[in-house]
Amino acid sequence: MDKIVARWEWRTFGHAFGAAEDKIKTYPAKVRESSEVYILSTKSMDNTKIRDMLMDIKYLVQTNENTLEQWYPLMKADFPIKVENLQQTIKAWKIDVSAEAIKEYSYEDFLNVLVKNHPDLRMVHVYKERHGFTINNTIVEIANLKFDNEPIRTIAVEHEDPKLVWETVKMLGLDGFGNINYLKALKTFAKIA
């Protein structure tokens, strides 16, 4: 089994990224598409989403002096979701759920019964067209997104070494943009505090 490593990430959102984007696009890219469901909790900033029919949870470990964020992958679980994985998901959301709601759920019931009916949860469907680059030994991504069909774009730099991430952010001229993670961007979009 692969060792799980917490990565440092710098990311921002917008519609255009000027000269930085032009510089990134001079490198070869791999393109991937996905449709995901992010589940936002009014009580938590843990990143919970469903991609490729897997419940995926990451949590923020720390933020450094350059505002880079270190995220740790906590769980990937398939559907129907088992009780122990559901309990871990509910813990990540930091919400209360009745004892009778703690049970195995199909994908559809998980979203349409549990998530949709909880007052502290909100789903956002996110389509991603991700262009991945390797620059300065880091993973750099430009993605065309749709949040519930509303277009927006993101650009990101990731690696296990925060010094390398920050060096790459500066090298590409991205340090003039604010560091905004997916949860902040989605909560702003969904008007969730």
For the segment 110-131, what is each residue's pLDDT rounded down to a tens digit? 999 999 999 999 999 999 999 9
| 54 domain-assigned | yes
Tokens standing for residue 43: 């009580």
Residue 43 is part of a domain; what is its CATH number? 2.40.320
pLDDT in tens, 54-88: 999 999 999 999 999 999 999 999 999 999 999 99
| 2 domain-assigned | no
* β-pair type (69-78, 54-63): antiparallel
Number of folded domains that form the chain: 1
Q: Please give the residue range of the domain that contains residue 119.
A: 7-190
CA-based nearest residue to 156, from 32, 17, 5, 18: 17
Cβ(38)–Cβ(147) below 8 Å: no
The owner of tokens 């008007």 is 191
Q: Mean pLDDT over all residues of the chain?
A: 95
Q: How far is CA 78 from CA 34, 49, 53, 110, 120, in A?
A: 17, 12, 6, 12, 23
Environment class of 21 (CB within 10 Å of its CB; exposed 0-12, middle 13-18, buried 19+): middle
